[in-house]
Structure formats: C-alpha cells, structure tokens
Structure 1
Amino acid sequence: MSMIHDKTPLPDLKDWRFSIDVEDIAWAVFDRVDESVNSLGRRPLEELDAIVAKVEELSGQGAVQGLVLMSGKDNFIAGADIREFESFDTEEKVKEVLAPPLELLDRIEKLRVPVVAAIHGYCLGGGLELVLACDWRIADREEGTRIGFPEVKLGIFPGLNGTIRSIRQAGPLNAMTAMLTAKFYRPSAARAIGLVDQLVPTRHGLRWAARKAVLKKRHSKGASWWQRLMQLGPVRSYLAGQMRKQTKAKVREDHYPAPFRLIDLFEEHGGDLKDMKREETIAFAPLMVSDTSRNLRRVFKLSEMLKAEAPKQEKGMNAFRPLRVHVIGAGTMGADIAAWCVVSGMQASLQDLSEEQLEKGIARGQKLFKKRLRGKRDQDAAKARLIADPQGIHLPRADVVIEAIVEKLDVKQGLFKSIEGKLKSGAVLATNTSSLKLEDIAEGLTDPGRLVGLHFFNPVPQLPLVEVVRGEQSREEEVRKACLFVTAINKMPLIVRSVPGFLVNRVLAPYMMESVAQFESGQPREKIDQAAEKFGMPMGPLELMDMVGLDICDHVGKTLGLAPESDNTLSRLVKEGKLGKKTGEGFYVWKDGKPQREEAEYEPEELDRLAAELMKPLLDEAERARDEHVVENGDLVDAGVIFGTGFAPFRGGPLHYRETQNAQKSAVAA
C-alpha cells in the first residue's frame, strides 16, 4: 500500500490525526490525547466536525476518494465521555448538547464519497452510533474486539440516532435486542446480525481492507426486506409486546425505565424512521436527567474506582504477573476460585486431603468451563489447566496461594506454618477467611507481613467483588499484588481493614438479622422478600439466606454479635438441619432449585414501610463502616455494598441513598 503523506493537514487537531494518501484516501485516526481509552467528548467531536468539513470541501473538488475512520489505541471508541454528562442538568440542555453531534452524523451519512469504519477493540455506545452513520464497517476478529450498546446500564438508550440506524442496518428484532440487553457482541456475531459488514483476521488487515472498500465504493445494503417487515404496524405491536414481557421478567419499570421507554419509542414510531429519529431525542432527554441515570452513572464511576485499586503494572524483571494459582481446600468456594482462575486464562492446582472432595471440585470446575467457554478446544484447554494436586506438588511454583479450608484458627495456623517455607519468592500468600482475624492467623509465621486476605463471595463466577483484606501486619506491597491478581481474574478489588465481617458481611448481616426479627414478629416471609425486591434488591433477604446457607448466616451473625442471645428461628432451623437450598428446606421448601412461595399480594405502601425497616440496619452499619474507616472512604463503602451484595444499583449505594433521602426531607421541611 502507498505511504501516507500529509497533503492537507489540519494543524490544530489534538485527539485526531488526519492525512490524505497518494491515492486520495482520507484517513482520520482517533487517538485521544492523555487518555488510555477513546471516548467521544466535546473536543473529539468538534475536531471530527473539522475533519468532515475538510472532506466535504475536498470531495466537492474531486480531491478525495473516501474517508476511513480508525483508532490509534487498543480500543476503537468505548462510548461517550460520561464525565461530561454531569453538566446536562435539564432536558433543554440535553437537547442543546445533542444537536451538533446529531447534525455531524447526518453529514457523515451524506458525504459524496464512501466512509469506512475500521474497528479494532471496543466499539460501544456512541462509538457504534458513529460507525452506523458510515457506509461500510470492517472489524477484526481479535479477542478484544466487541461491539454493542451498553446504554441501558446507564439508565438511558442510544441518543445519537443509534436507534433508527441500528434498526435500518440490522432489522428491528436484532437492533432492539442489542439495545435492550446491552450485550457485547463478538465480531462474527455482530456481522451475523448486520451491525458489521466485513471481518478480517487481525488488526493488521484493517488498513488494507478499508482501502479496498473505499476504492470499490462499498455501501452496506442494510437489513433484508423480510426483517424490515417487522416494522409494519401489527407485527411491530406484537414484537413490542413480547419485548416488554421479556424485559419485565428481568427488571421493574419503576426501577429501570429506559428499556421500557425504548420499547414505547419503537412501538409508536418504528414504522416511520424519520418520525422515530425526531422522537428519539424527545424520549431520551428526560432519561438523561433522571435520578436513575445519575445514580447508574455513579455506579459506573465506582466500578472504575475499584479497578484503579490495582497499581499500574510495572515493566521489567520485577513485574508481578500471576499465571499460576494454588488453592488449598476443594470445597465449593475453593473449587470455584480455582476454576474461575482457569476461566480467566491461568493455571490452577487444587489441593485437598480428601480424594473424594478433590474429584467433586474438579467436576465442578468442568461444569463451569462448559457454561463459560466457547467450543470444545477452549474447554479441553481449560480442563488441562485445572490440576488435581493432593500432595501440593505445584505449590512451590505458584504465583498466588489461597487457603480456603475450614474456619478454625488452629487448623489455618498449622497449615500456613507448614507451607510458608515452600513458597517461591514474591508469591502472594492469602486466606479466604470470612470471620477470623488476619493478625491471629499470621501468628507463628516467620514473615507475617506476607499474609493478606482474599475474600471471595458465593457464587464466585457471578459476584464481581473480592475484598482484599489488609491486616495490621500485612505489607502494602503484598496488598497491591493481591489487587493485581484480582483484576487479572476480571474481578474488582476492594481493600478493607481486618475487622469482623470486613465490609460486605458486616453491612449485610444486620439486614439479614432484621429480616429474621420481622419474620418472628409475624410478617409473612413472602411479604418480607417482596418488600426488599420492591426496594430494588436482587432477591429478598430470606431467600438469599436460604441460598447462602442458614448455617453460614447463623455463624456470621454470632461472629458479629448480632444473633439474639435467646433461641431464634435461624438457629432453630440450623439445629433441625434445615440449612436452606442445599438441604431442600430453610425458610422456604426448595424444589428443582426454586423456593416454593405462597401467592400473596400486598399494598405498595405497606411494602415500602417494611422495606424502610429492613434497610435501616444496613444503612446504619454502612455509615459506621465509613466512620471507622473499614475502607478508605464513603464512595468505596457504596461500591463494596453494591458489587458485593447487589444493593439496588439505581439508588447509587447505601450512603448515597441515605444522603439523597435526607436532602429530600430537608427540602420538603424548608
């Protein structure tokens, strides 16, 4: 291919590089300055506007053959810059801010010459809306390339005419599914549904493929005629009804209105895309300024804050790169930790005194591989990386050693003393204890500063948080290496002090014990769980306790001094061997993995009152945890409780929720 020459430079660009090669193809490379990720903010859009204006001028003179949009980073465009969203405080302001980029995308669509998007890495949200305005989209097949609309997770839907362009390109069913599920599609899946037109094996083929697409004047045909039939009145109404039904099965409309407003928009205006284009902004603006969207954006920032707990990986001989993990204890938790490390690309050896337990642990891991990994080749490779190791032969080679055995102090102390001398230099030594003090476990170690806590939550594959426990004796370097390990297995690390219950169990336990007290006072179990779900919890507290195991909940309650001194329902059920889902009966009887509930409806006001009583102990304990600096600050309390317990994300976290409630009461009183 010809060398690129800056025949027509735009000298003031900071976030884009613009050039025209000897074949008169214009190249716009997005490489946002001082940012690790490309996102669409005010300046990048203004600079893209200048590039489009230049191409408009030159195409009018016959001086360019086409325009190619590429990225200079490892991602294409991760979406809009949500840092700028906070200034959009009124619906009118939202409409005013949206007008220029909406016009810009229309101009890209109307350029006289072909516009080609060459996609490597994440192409999400506003980035996908931009490429849908292009004539032709090429993506590489590399593992890191993903395409999708994550907007509903932020309480909005695509607002740069992505709704109509995706429907035009992929058809109503595919486009609406992509927007409603917020799914990240692999390149081949994105091509199959019509969001991408062409694939190349690697990023190295993108430039050549884009050049050919320009020279051949490629133009996407869009959705097929039979897909477009779904836009017709009766079919569209039926489709909208099915989408509404499926969405209601996942989320409540009063908690997450965005997907329901998107379905309304499609049902009312999807038959005429010009109408839908106009109405998109009208429906989008109130969502953007809503409390739900503001709180969900806060949750996104909290997730980014947790990921930043791990230090930037240093380069050179001393870099810590965890590749091998050794887990001691093949129970449910230990087996799941080992298997999850394997799913994340590592090798994991699993040690246990019981041969039978070890076999169960390996079988459990293989079930996870079938669920999480695509294709037999990847599953077979994972099976080979999960090693049964009854003698602990692999321990001296491990980069991370995690103990997940019985919660008995003397047993743990004995184990750590026996393995300390076998560890390789620089390996992380961790305990998954949920109730014992790290300082006590570390007694007797030659180097107690080496021990940290890695507290996983059950089920390990689903819950994104890991508490990284810093004991009084733990060295900072070891804590940071533990955080690096947590991010390497695609989890979020939360550094917590070594106090009873750490953060998550400490905050969750009073809420659970309050639900037991409410049950003992005569409140029906269904009413208690419905109240919590109406508040926004992923499941009710009694069902949750049954899922976790009533023996574990009782142990945590006693450890934290929360269980009533006199006999109570929880301890009684434990004594009777009714431990919840795992034994088939607890607060509920369980059949086929589901709790058997009695049908019952309650007044919304009653449920709200009961929810306030249930949540009060949780909110109180969250404040105490903040004041006692269990974690570094209040934002991290909110992050830990959201990602560790599933606390209603649309409420922005327990501390944020209480502050919001207090502010509203003050405003009413004034």
Structure 2
Amino acid sequence: LALPEVMLGIVPGWGGMKRLPQRVGPALALDLMLSGKAVDAKKAKRIGLADDCVPPRVMENAARMRVQSGATNAALPWMARLMNGPLRPVVAAKARKQVAERARREHYPAPYAIIDIWANFGGDALAVPAGHPSSLEAIVASPTTKNLLRVYQLQERLKSFGKAEDFMPRHVHVVGAGVMGGDIAAVCALRGLTVTLQDQSVERIAPAIARAAKLFERRFKGDRRQVRFALDRLIPDPQAHGAARADVIIEAIFEDLDAKRALFADLERRARPDAVLATNTSSLRLEDIATALQNPARLVGIHFFNPVAMMPLVEVVQGVASTAGALHRAAAFVRHIDKLPLPVKSAPGFLVNAVLGPYMLEALRCVEEGIAAETVDAALVSFGMPIGPVELVDTVGLDIALAAGTTLAATGEQAPPRLLALVTAGKLGKKTGQGYYRWVEGKVQRTKAPHSQAPRTSDTVAEQELAARILAPMLGAARRCVGEGVVADADLADAGVIFGTGFAPWTGGPLQYQQHMGNPPIGRGPAFADRALASVQ
C-alpha cells in the first residue's frame, strides 16, 4: 500500500492527503507521502492503515465480518491528535526543513506542496486556489512533473528488454567471491535463485556469505525462516561443480585478461550448451576475452554496479560476436532479479563508467585548482546528485578510480597530481580511512563550506557555475556514447545515466537537461577558480 504520486512529481489529489493523516497520524502519513514508499500488509495493519491482515483465501469473509461487526477505527494517540490540530504548524515546519535538506523546491515542488496542502488546506487539494504555488494546476504544469513522468517511462522501457524472452533461470554460478561477485551472488539468492559461488577456497568465500547474511536480515526484517532459506540457496562451491548445472554463469574475478581467458576456457568445457556465459568486466573488451572460447558468440557482458543490492541498473553488453539469443536471455535474467537491463555495445567504460570518468576527473581538477572538496561536492548535491563527485571517488576507492582512468590515457588525459600522491601514500579513500576526505567508521568527515546562513546571490551563482563546469564533460560523454552507438538512442542514454549514476531525476536525464538548457558557456581555469573561492570567503 502506498501513495506514490510524489515519485511522478504530483500530489495525492483524491483524498489521500486528507484521510491518511487522520488514519495513521501526520508523522507516519507525511513520511509515506513525501517518500512515496510502500508498506506491506503486516506493517499496514501495525500502523493502522489496514484493519486486518489475513491470508487471501479468507480475505473476502474477513472483510464482510469486519463491516458487519460495526467495529470502528481505534482513536489516534493523543500526541498524534495534537499534531493534527494545534501542533500542525510545528510539524509542517519540521517537515519542510527535512525536505529542504534533501531537495530544492525549484527542483521538486511536489513534496513542498504536500506539506502546504496538509498544513494550510486540511489536506484538500481541491481547496487550493488556482494561483497558489501548491495548486494542482501549478504542480501539473511544473517541468519537474514532465521530467519525472519521462523517467518513469524510461524505467518501463528498460523493464521491457527482459520481457520478450521465454527464459526462466533457476541456477546461477558466480565465479569470484570478492565484494562484487559475492554481492551479485547474494542478490541472486535473495531473489529466489539457487546460487553456487566459486573461489579458490571456502575461506575466501566465507566473507561473502557473512555479508549476504546481513543483507538477508535487513531485507527480510529479521524473519529468521526467510533468512535461513536464502542462505540455503547460496552454496559455497570452490570446486566449480555448479557450473555444469547453471543457467547463467557470471565471471567476477579481478581485471586481468589472461586470467579471464583461462577461466572462460575452463567454464565453456563445463557449462551446458544453452547456458549464458557472462563477464562482469568494467574495463576489458569482450572481444579480447572471447578469444579463449570455442564459440565466442556465447559471451555477453552483465555489468553490475556497486553496491549491487542498491543500484538498479545492469548493463547488458553486446560484443562483436554476441548472439541476439544470448543477449535476450541475459536481459531476462537481469529482470528476473528485479534489476533494469540496459543494452550497450562493447566499448571502453560502456555507458555509465564512460560518463562518470570525465565527471569525476573534472571534479578532481577543481580540487587541484584550490577549490575545497566540500565546495565541489556541495555544488553537485545542490544540483540534485545523490553524492558529490569527490566523495564518490573516495567511496569507489582512489586506486580503482586511478586504474579505471587509464582508459583516458589514449586521449591524452593526465591523472591529477594529488590523486597520484594519495594513492602512492596508501590513502585510498573510505576503505583506508583517508582519501580526499577523512573517514571514521565508514562515515565521511567533512568541514562545512563557510557560507553564511542566508546564502548570497554570488554564492548561488558560483555554485551553479561550478556544477555546470563539472557536469559539462559528463554531458559531452553521454552525447558521444549516443553518437558512437554505445547505446541505441538518447532516451536510453538518459535512462542509463539516471539509474546508473543517480543523475538528478528532476532534469529528465543529462541529454534532456542539455536540450532544455542549451549549451551555456562553462567557466574554466584559474579565473573560474578565483570566483568560486571568492564566493566562500
């Protein structure tokens, strides 16, 4: 059960804003309406949204008995009644503050409108005057609504890639129990598949099983029975016995071409003729790996993103020899585990890494010029990115970012000196506790940018210029990927960058945003750095 309208940039206009706070109290109601998240039947009963939770076979009788019993809804606790009454302005003010920490009103007007309509119009959307910024007319006319509807349509298009093929995988064999391989295996087991996880020894597989157990406990909310079932589906397999039975085989070992070739030569001998053979490589060409196979047409890419459990996108990579059937089955597998398949051609970085690389590099250049990492990240978070680019580099790992950046060497790009120095010193970001930021217990420790509480116009302008500068290489890379046929069209490029990087959904995607904004001049070099630095003095 949900009120998901906010996800499309609109408000629950048919009574939900009025009735839900009366039913479950304003705190829970605002949380559900502002997030758009759903609750299952058990939670719905627990919070008072549903009268009962019963097995489907007795649902009709239970509903009839409920109606005929004349039972009334339980009264809200006295604090919830106060929050619905005289404390309503206080609740609304706190809710606005919390929303403002996550999204700007000009980017996402709908959550602010939900709060305004509840606080000032009793939750009745039809009572809001037409000229009011929270009116249905204003919300529907907002560019954000148009773009969020577009994002929904793009998501549905990605889902469609896995629907046509009549392929129901039951067994997945994953080779490589590192962070990526282990988490791929865990997600597959979570979705009901039998998974055999291969590595050199059981001891190497054990940490992946431990991480999986924590994931299962979170997702099943402490339901020990379901956690046990999921763990039973995740089978350590150092001898690779599962490869002979698997419907899908995914390689997720370290990025070494000779090692991958040797592994696939062995897997091809073990695998069923109809099994999907896939690599999770992010930097090697499929064509180079496929030379080890007797039938190179079997190899496809199934490229996940870290953290696997959270990232919705998976790139399905077509090599020069990959068959349509193998690609369709790969996309069907991706949908089976509730991910979004994006068809891409084999090319350096595919789509997502190809656009992320220049974006992160430009952010690090800004830091080299003397702009604080906090200022850089704040500009992009303010734009609508889920995480700043410098913090993203720290999270990915400075060594990994540097290694991935070698693909840029052919275009003459040089790694920033500070990045090289940090890697040389062993300061690799989050995993070592120090990178561009200091990390304590997995949490970034940043110094707040020294803005005044009331931002000056010059602050806002400099922040927007900084964001525009750092985004420009990303937009250019997205255009280039479309032009080179890495993705079929601009819509798929927008979908991939939104769901693969978290690019601000209010824009409709990088190419949609660029089409709307045109090509404004982008400040570069020391003069730009001077303006950015001056804005925070």
Q: Provide TM-score, normalisation by structure 1.
A: 0.72
Cα distance, 1:381 vs. partner? 1.1
Gaps of 5+ in 2: 452-458, 522-537
Local SS of the residue matching 1:253: coil
Residues 637 and 446 of structure 1, relative CA distance in 2, 3 Å threshold: same
Cα distance, 1:175 vs. partner? 2.4
Cα distance, 1:584 vs. partner? 1.0
What is the aligned partner in structure 2 of residue 497 from structure 1? 345
Q: Is the 8 A contact 1:265 1:280 kept in 2?
A: no
List aligned pairs for 1:398-547, cutoff 5 A: 398-547=246-395
Cα distance, 1:198 vs. partner? 3.4
Residues 261 and 399 of structure 1, relative CA distance in 2, 3 Å threshold: same
- Establish whether residue 167 from structure 1 lines up as the match of residue 15 from structure 2: no
Picking from 621, 643, 661, the partner of 2:517 is 661
Local SS of the residue matching 2:214: helix
Equivalent position amino acid for 2:180 in 1: M
Residues 436 and 279 of structure 1, relative CA distance in 2, 3 Å threshold: same
- Establish whether residue 290 from structure 1 lines up as the match of residue 146 from structure 2: no
Partners of 2:283 and 2:408 in 1: CA distance: 9
User: C-alpha offsets along residues 296-341 of structure 1, whole Å, 9 cap, x if unaligned?
Assistant: 1111111101000113353xxxxx2111111111110001000111
Equivalent position amino acid for 1:363 in 2: A
Equivalent position amino acid for 1:591 in 2: V
Partners of 1:277 and 1:173 in 2: CA distance: 23
Residues 663 and 594 of structure 1, relative CA distance in 2, 3 Å threshold: closer
Equivalent position amino acid for 2:194 in 1: Q
What is the aligned partner in structure 2 of residue 193 from structure 1? 47
Cα distance, 1:484 vs. partner? 0.5
Residues 601 and 298 of structure 1, relative CA distance in 2, 3 Å threshold: farther
Partners of 1:629 and 1:335 in 2: CA distance: 32
Picking from 89, 93, 105, the partner of 1:241 is 93
Residues 580 and 280 of structure 1, relative CA distance in 2, 3 Å threshold: farther
What is the aligned partner in structure 1 of residue 218 from structure 2? 371
Equivalent position amino acid for 1:492 in 2: L
Cα distance, 1:630 vs. partner? 0.6
Residues 418 and 228 of structure 1, relative CA distance in 2, 3 Å threshold: closer
Cα distance, 1:152 vs. partner? 1.2
User: C-alpha offsets along residues 353-381 of structure 1, whole Å, 9 cap, x if unaligned?
Assistant: 14432111111111211221231111111
Q: What is the number of residues matched between the two proteins? A: 509
Local SS of the residue matching 1:198: coil
Q: Is the 8 A contact 1:163 1:280 kept in 2?
A: no
Residues 276 and 454 of structure 1, relative CA distance in 2, 3 Å threshold: closer
Equivalent position amino acid for 1:188 in 2: K
Q: Does 224-233 or 451-460 show the bigger shift?
A: 224-233
User: C-alpha offsets along residues 248-301 of structure 1, whole Å, 9 cap, x if unaligned?
Assistant: 34333332222122112222233xx6x675239863321121011111111111
- Establish whether residue 323 from structure 1 lines up as the match of residue 170 from structure 2: yes
Residues 288 and 384 of structure 1, relative CA distance in 2, 3 Å threshold: same
Local SS of the residue matching 1:581: coil
User: C-alpha offsets along residues 467-494 of structure 1, whole Å, 9 cap, x if unaligned?
Assistant: 0000011011000000010001110000
Q: Is the 8 A contact 1:407 1:435 kept in 2?
A: yes
Equivalent position amino acid for 1:407 in 2: E
What is the aligned partner in structure 1 of residue 476 from structure 2? 620
Cα distance, 1:663 vs. partner? 9.3
What is the aligned partner in structure 2 of residue 397 from structure 1? 245
Cα distance, 1:194 vs. partner? 2.9
Equivalent position amino acid for 2:472 in 1: K
Equivalent position amino acid for 1:248 in 2: A
Local SS of the residue matching 1:185: coil
Cα distance, 1:566 vs. partner? 7.1
- Using CA pairs under 8 Å that are at least 6 residues apart, name the structure with larger relative contact order, 1 or 2: 2
Partners of 2:415 and 2:78 in 1: CA distance: 68
| C-alpha RMSD over aligned residues | 2.2
Residues 163 and 579 of structure 1, relative CA distance in 2, 3 Å threshold: same
Picking from 159, 167, 191, the partner of 1:307 is 159
Q: Is the 8 A contact 1:351 1:390 kept in 2?
A: yes
What is the aligned partner in structure 2 of residue 631 from structure 1? 487
Cα distance, 1:525 vs. partner? 1.2
Q: Is the 8 A contact 1:470 1:479 kept in 2?
A: yes
Partners of 2:227 and 2:272 in 1: CA distance: 29
Equivalent position amino acid for 1:393 in 2: H
Local SS of the residue matching 2:228: helix
Partners of 1:155 and 1:567 in 2: CA distance: 39
Q: Is the 8 A contact 1:407 1:436 kept in 2?
A: yes
User: C-alpha offsets along residues 216-247 of structure 1, whole Å, 9 cap, x if unaligned?
Assistant: 38575475373762355432222223323333
Equivalent position amino acid for 1:537 in 2: M
Q: Is the 8 A contact 1:557 1:563 kept in 2?
A: no
Picking from 389, 406, 410, the partner of 1:558 is 406
User: C-alpha offsets along residues 115-158 of structure 1, whole Å, 9 cap, x if unaligned?
Assistant: xxxxxxxxxxxxxxxxxxxxxxxxxxxxxxxx101111111220
Q: Is the 8 A contact 1:164 1:277 kept in 2?
A: no
Partners of 1:363 and 1:207 in 2: CA distance: 42
Partners of 1:664 and 1:568 in 2: CA distance: 29
Q: Is the 8 A contact 1:352 1:390 kept in 2?
A: yes
Residues 232 and 367 of structure 1, relative CA distance in 2, 3 Å threshold: closer
Local SS of the residue matching 1:468: strand
Cα distance, 1:190 vs. partner? 1.6
List aligned pairs for 1:68-87, cutoff 5 A: none
User: C-alpha offsets along residues 19-42 of structure 1, whole Å, 9 cap, x if unaligned?
Assistant: xxxxxxxxxxxxxxxxxxxxxxxx
Cα distance, 1:213 vs. partner? 5.6
Local SS of the residue matching 2:399: helix
User: C-alpha offsets along residues 491-533 of structure 1, whole Å, 9 cap, x if unaligned?
Assistant: 0000100011100000111111111111112222111111111
Equivalent position amino acid for 1:392 in 2: A
Q: Is the 8 A contact 2:103 2:384 kept in 1?
A: no
What is the aligned partner in structure 2 of residue 648 from structure 1? 504
List aligned pairs for 1:26-65, cutoff 5 A: none
Q: Is the 8 A contact 1:470 1:496 kept in 2?
A: yes
Local SS of the residue matching 1:363: helix
Q: Does 231-240 or 402-411 show the bigger shift?
A: 231-240
What is the aligned partner in structure 1 of residue 120 from structure 2? 268
- Establish whether residue 596 from structure 1 lines up as the match of residue 445 from structure 2: yes
User: C-alpha offsets along residues 379-431 of structure 1, whole Å, 9 cap, x if unaligned?
Assistant: 11111111111111121111111000111111100010012111123211100
What is the aligned partner in structure 1 of residue 10 from structure 2? 156
Equivalent position amino acid for 2:239 in 1: Q
Q: Does 255-264 or 276-285 show the bigger shift?
A: 276-285
Partners of 2:87 and 2:28 in 1: CA distance: 15
Local SS of the residue matching 1:421: helix
Structure of higher CA gyration radius: 1
What is the aligned partner in structure 1 of residue 104 from structure 2? 252
Partners of 2:519 and 2:239 in 1: CA distance: 59
Q: Does 193-202 or 321-330 show the bigger shift?
A: 193-202
- Establish whether residue 205 from structure 1 lines up as the match of residue 45 from structure 2: no
Equivalent position amino acid for 2:480 in 1: R
Gaps of 5+ in 1: 1-146, 315-319, 666-670
Equivalent position amino acid for 2:277 in 1: L
Equivalent position amino acid for 1:345 in 2: G
What is the aligned partner in structure 1 of residue 435 from structure 2? 586
